[in-house]
Amino acid sequence: MTRKAKAETKIAASDVYERITNRIVEQLVAGTRPWMQPWGGGGMPVRPLRHNGAAYRGINTVLLWMTATEQGYSSPYWMTYKQASELGAQVRKGETSTLVVYANTIERKETDDAGEEVERRIPFMKGYSVFNADQIDGLPERFYVKPSALPETGNQRIETADRFFAHLGADIRQGGSKAYYHPVGDFIQMPRFEAFVSAEAHATTLGHEAIHWTMSPTRLDRHLGREKWGDEGYAKEELVAELGSVFLAADLGLAIEPRDDHAAYIASWLKVLKNDKRLVFQMAAHAERAVTFLHGLQPEDGKRSDEEVSESAAV
C-alpha cells in the first residue's frame, strides 16, 4: 500500500467480528437500520458490486451499504487498491477504505484417535479493504454512475415481483390486517393489495414473510431457538427476515421502507448482538441462504458463482 490512500491491512478474525458488530450496534442505538439500501445510480436499489460486476453477498452487502449511505457514494462498484491500479486508475490521496470479509474453508489431513488419517475442513475468515469507485480517479466510465430519480410505482402492481412470488409455490392467503407467516399451517397471510400505501410496500412485505417461509423443515429447516413471541430466538429469526427482505428487494429492484413494527425489534436486536459478536454474521448468512433458496425456485434464475456462495456463508 502506498501513501495515496488509507487502507486496512491484515486484520485478525476476532477483531473483524468486534469492529463490525460494534459499528452496527452504534447505528441501531441511534435508531438507524444500518442495512437500509442506498439508491443505485440508475434510480433503483442495487447490490454492491465487485470490479468484475459480481454482487457482494451476506454481511458484506450490509457493510458496503452502510458506508455508501454514510458517505453519499452513488456508484455500486467497489474494489481493492490493486484492482484499481490494474484498471489504470488511482485511489485519491487521503481516501479511507471500507472493511469487508472473506470466508472459506481449508482441508487438512489429521490422525484421529484410532490412528486413521482423516480430512478435516477448517473454516476461516479474513478482512480486507475496498474502495468505492467514487473514491477513485481514472476508472472506465462504466464504473461512474449518475443518480437519477426513482420511478413512480404508486398502486400499480409490479409485474416482476408478482411473477417472482408466484413461482415460489407458497400458500399465500389474502385478507385481514396483518402480514405474517404461519409455521404450523405453513402459509403466508397478507392484507389485500389495496391496503398497502404502494406496490413496493406490498412486495417488500411479502418478501419479508417469504424469508420466514423458508424456515420450514421442508425447505431450509432453520431453527434459531424460538420458543415464544419476543424471546431471543424470535429476535434472531426476525433479524434474518429483516436482512433477507432487504437483500431480496435489492435483487428485485424494489425500494424498501421501514415497516411499522421495525422500531420494536431494535431493542431485542441490540440485546442479542451485544451478547454475541458473531451473531450478525450468522444471521446475514442465514438471510442470504434464504434469498438463494427463493431465487432457486425461479424457472430461469442464474446460478451464483462459487465466490458468491462462499461469501454468503461468511460466519
Residue with cell 425447505: 219
Q: Report long-range pairs for 24-29 (Cβ below 8 Å, ≥24 apart).
A: 24/62, 24/66, 24/273, 24/280, 25/270, 25/273, 25/274, 27/66, 28/266, 28/269, 28/270, 28/273, 29/270
Give the strand pairing for 98-111 and 117-132: antiparallel
pLDDT of residue 8: 45
Mind listing the pLDDT tens digit for each residue in 207-225? 999 999 999 999 999 999 8
pLDDT of residue 105: 74
The list of the chain residues with pLDDT below 50 reads 1-4, 8-9, 149-150, 305-306, 309-310, 312-315
pLDDT of residue 223: 92
Q: CA of 280: how far to CAs of 19, 76, 128, 275, in Å?
A: 12, 23, 18, 11
The C-alpha atoms of residue 255 and residue 17 are separated, in whole angstroms, by: 29
pLDDT of residue 19: 86
Element (H, E) at 109: strand 98-111
Q: 251: closest CA among 310, 196, 194, 210? A: 210
Q: Are the beta carbons of 29 and 285 closer than 8 angstroms?
A: no
Tell me how far the alpha carbon of residue 311 is from its chain's centroid: 11
Strand, coil or helix: what is 114? coil
pLDDT of residue 12: 57
Mind listing the pLDDT tens digit for each residue in 97-117? 999 998 777 777 777 777 777
Q: 170: closest CA among 18, 290, 303? A: 290
Q: Are the beta carbons of 232 and 225 closer than 8 angstroms?
A: yes
pLDDT of residue 314: 46
- Name the grid cell of 135: 473514491
The C-alpha atoms of residue 207 and residue 242 are separated, in whole angstroms, by: 9
Contacts of 65 (CB under 8 A, 6+ apart): 34, 35, 36, 37, 38, 48
